[in-house]
Amino acid sequence: MQLRRSSRSRWFVVFVALGIFVAGCGGETPGASPGGESGGGEGISVGVAYDIGGIGDQSFNDAANRGLQAAIDEGLVAEGDTESIEPNATGSNRDDNVVTLAEEGFDLVVAVGFAFSPGIDETAKEFPDVNFAVVDGFAAEADNVTNLTFREEEGSFLVGAAAAEKSESGTIGFLGGQAGTGLIEKFEAGFTAGAEEVNPDIEVLVEYIGDSTAAFNDPTKGEALSAKMYDGGADVIYHASGASGAGLFKAAVENDALAIGVDSDQSLTASAEQRQLILTSMLKRVDTTVHDAIEQTRDDNFKTGFQTFGLSEQGVDYAVNQYNDNDQLLSSSIQETLDGFKQEIIDGNIKVPAEPAG
């Protein structure tokens, strides 16, 4: 797999030329260029355009990358037929990265983040033979696009209930990334609803880092706002802020307080001192949806429009910290409570709001 940070190199042309040369000499091309036939995966090719924070954000982008790697491991696509591009620090070239992958002839282009949607609406029309999958997308103007969306409020309800069960102060906090899009507000709404289901009198402090996608890559501000909420009495804080969440975990250590991760089980990538304070994480199975989009492309069964994943589709859930020694973090009793809520949501007995009250 190639990984590029926003360059528009033309190695693809070189690979194609090399393939022609080797074929002309009677040999076999090791690996394959996009759209080729060797290396497994039925000859399909996959390009992934990541958003701000890129691979290594220990959250959203990493989850997408795990889906790609799982598809490679299962032989759905050959590693040599994949390419990943990361954006610049502001994400201003994210649309250029998508165009680059489309021009290079990939069968499937995965765009990791809602901010790609307007650009995909235009690019997809220009490349009708390319499948486009947009994580959290709202691109609806072309018939070769699937939007992989989630009911984040359902998973957030569960970790909100966990926070309320664990809180001793009766005050908890929510740290959001970009405000004003309606996406991160779903996390906030579910978190608050779950907490209030356990304790109707609980106080939920709320802070957002900013109003642009840069808010997902500002751990310094994430730390400052988290410290502010801890100082305000919160003893558990949940973040939905991408790479900025690293600031929450740092603040948790400094305040000897609890934190809740997002997208992935963040206890697995946290430092030793941080993981002891990560109560749980809200799992958003971006990895599963990316994997499935690749499989659908391989099987010539690509589903366009909108695909939505909640608890019933196993698209969201909560994580049990593997370092939860002797039930010190998320006790068996709390897990039983969360599992009960999970089933009630799946059965339709609990309707989780997708917008904050008021």
Q: List, in order of start, the domains of the chain with CATH numbers.
A: 2-150+286-309 (3.40.50.2300), 152-284+324-347 (3.40.50.2300)
Sign of the alpha-carbon dihedral angle for 231, 237, 240, 246: positive
Provide, rounded to the nearest whole percent, the portion of the chain with pLDDT above 70. Answer: 88
Mean pLDDT over each residue of the chain, to the nearest integer? 89
Reported as a single tens digit per residue, the pLDDT across 117-133 is 999 999 999 999 999 99
pLDDT at 358: 74
pLDDT at 4: 62
User: Residue 331: how many CB atoms within 10 A of its CB?
Assistant: 15
User: What is the Cα–Cα distance from 184 to 195, expressed in whole angstroms?
Assistant: 17
User: Residue 23: how many CB atoms within 10 A of its CB?
Assistant: 11
pLDDT at 165: 98
Task: State both tokens at 113.
Answer: 């983040």
Burial environment of residue 25 by CB neighbours within 10 A (0 to 12, 13 to 18, 19 or more): exposed
pLDDT at 325 over 80: no
pLDDT at 223 over 90: yes
Which of the pair, 41 or 325, is modelled with greater confidence?
A: 325
Reported as a single tens digit per residue, the pLDDT across 18-63 is 343 333 444 333 333 443 333 344 589 999 999 998 999 888 899 9
Reported as a single tens digit per residue, the pLDDT across 228-267 is 999 999 999 999 999 999 999 999 999 999 999 999 899 9
pLDDT at 321: 86
pLDDT at 155: 98
pLDDT at 327 over 70: yes
Report the DSSP pairing between strands 2-4 and 82-85: parallel
pLDDT at 8: 38
CA angle 27, 30, 36 (to 5 degrees): 95
pLDDT at 330 over 90: yes
Q: Average the pLDDT over each of 23-27, 50-54, 166-170, 322-326 and give the range with the smallest value.
A: 23-27
pLDDT at 322: 82
| pLDDT bracket for residue 17 (50, 70, 90) | very low
CA angle 62, 64, 68 (to 5 degrees): 110
- Element holding 308 (H helix, E strand): strand 305-309
Ordered alpha helix ranges (H), the chain: 11-24, 60-73, 94-103, 117-126, 152-166, 183-198, 219-231, 245-255, 272-275, 286-298, 332-347
pLDDT at 23: 37
Give pTM, 2 decimals: 0.83
Q: At 162, is the secondary structure helix, strand, or coil?
A: helix
| Mean predicted confidence (pLDDT) in 158-167 | 98
pLDDT at 3: 66
User: What is the Cα–Cα distance from 245 to 221, expressed in whole angstroms?
Assistant: 10
| Mean predicted confidence (pLDDT) in 67-77 | 97
CB 278 within 8 A of CB 261: yes
| Mean predicted confidence (pLDDT) in 278-285 | 96
User: What is the Cα–Cα distance from 358 to 347, expressed in whole angstroms?
Assistant: 27
User: What is the Cα–Cα distance from 358 to 349, expressed in whole angstroms?
Assistant: 23
CA angle 225, 229, 232 (to 5 degrees): 140
pLDDT at 115: 95
